[in-house]
Amino acid sequence: MASADAENFRLAVLNPGGRDQEQHFGENRSATANGHAPVNFHAYAACTHGAVFRETKRAIATEWPVLLLLRGDFRASERALAELKKSKRKTVVALKETGAHQIAHQLSDPVRFARFLKIVREANGGIATTPEAADFFRLFRDNGIEFVPTPYPVEDENWNWAMENRSGIFVGTREFAVPSRNHLAALVAVKRLSDVTKEPVTVFNFGRRREAKLISEMGFRKIRVHEKRMSYRAYLGEVARHKIIFQLDRSRVPGQVAGDALLCRSVCVGGDGAIERIAFPETCGEKRSDAELVEIAQRLLTNESERRAIAERATNIAKEKLSFRAGRETLAHFFAAL
């Protein structure tokens, strides 16, 4: 496919009955839209100057190819696929939640699993935000499946959150209840790092008293606990203030923690998400023990030149493989080949 064809490619992302309002990402609007930020599945629409829909008929009316999200019990997705097929709209599907623990939980119900199989086999193809999810899809069909990492607007200066004079450690996870997130272990490791380096720590904890008490019992020398949600832009501003983002997540998620680090021109240490493995091969959790990650983090907290070099290399990788341009070209080629 010629680059001009990729430039003209538009994608409708359909989340039938979802909570997000309809949102269009026209030329030069991805950075200024007042709605949902161009991240997660909204990024697939944003990178193609497409749109996100919750009503199937609205998506059909665009005459664009459709990325249909599968969530909940998949009933709404099944009905939407029937309408899309009737309208002869080229449709690929994607699981909205693709962490290893999330896929296992969603498909543990036999009725839901049967519905999932039917949808995957009847669609024109499938997109996965992690290599593992792509391999899972391929168990049920041997063609039309593609791993497309979540694109990030790293080439857009409106989303460049680079900041000078950084200090501290930002804890990238916040779910105590999900074992594979290893949030407690991350906090214990960060406590040790803070004691050694004297760096302050920042963590988010949304309205959970039990967890708040647990954090206070750890005896951090200096910690900021955010208990209120904030806009994505405000959140990035908070992340960007820190020297590193640290996590010990082993959930095989798409990798938004690393994606946030990319927009902040920062370094993500730990995590085995798709973005972590692609953009931060020197510091991710793939094939590294928790002790090794703590050692890497301690070194980066005290070596600014190395930290800057890794952040720069990550940005260059992202511009080549994870940018909106790269995402648009990959999606255009994939849909053209179906």
Residue 246 and residue 301 in one domain: yes
| Distance, CA of 85 to CA of 44 (rounded, Å) | 21
44 vs 12: CA distance, rounded Å: 9
The predicted structure's pLDDT at residue 154? 97
Q: Identify the pLDDT of residue 7.
A: 86
Same domain as 248, residue 123: no
Structure confidence at residue 28 (pLDDT): 59
pLDDT at residue 35, as a whole number: 79
> What is d(CA 159, CA 277) in angstroms, rounded to the nearest whole number?
22
Q: Are residues 164 and 310 in the same domain?
A: yes
Shared domain for 69 and 114, answered yes or no, is yes
**H/E run at residue 232:** helix 232-239
Q: With b meaning 16 or more CB within 10 Å and e meaning fewer, what string describes 65-78? A: bbbbbbbeebebbb
Same domain, 279 and 179: yes
Same domain (yes/no): 8, 19: yes
The residues, ordered by sequence, that sit 6+ positions from 286 with a Cβ below 8 Å of its Cβ are: 272, 276, 277
Q: Distance (Å, rounded) from C-alpha 255 to C-alpha 54?
A: 24
**Both 138 and 249 in a single domain?**
no
Q: What is the CATH number of the domain that holds 224?
A: 3.40.50.2000
* Token output for 149: 């990492």
Judgement on whether residues 68 and 138 belong to the same structural domain of the protein: yes
Asked whether residue 110 falls in the same domain as residue 218, the answer is no
Domain hosting residue 82, numbered range = 3-151+323-337
Answer yes or no: do 214 and 314 share one domain: yes
What is the pLDDT at residue 34?
A: 64
Same domain, 129 and 70: yes
Q: How far apart are CA 268 and CA 24, in angstroms?
A: 31
Q: What is the pLDDT of residue 252?
A: 96
Predicted local distance difference test score (pLDDT) of residue 30? 47
**pLDDT for the residue numbered 4:** 57
Look at the pTM and tell me if it is higher than 0.85.
yes
10-residue stretch averages of pLDDT, the chain, 338 residues long? 74 94 78 75 97 97 98 95 97 94 92 96 97 96 97 96 96 94 97 97 88 93 93 96 98 97 98 98 98 98 98 98 97 96
pLDDT attached to residue 126: 98
pLDDT of residue 26: 82
Length of the chain: 338
Residues 70 and 197 in one domain: no
Q: Tell me whether strands 12-14 and 223-226 are parallel, antiparallel or unpaired.
A: unpaired
Q: How many domains does the chain have?
A: 2
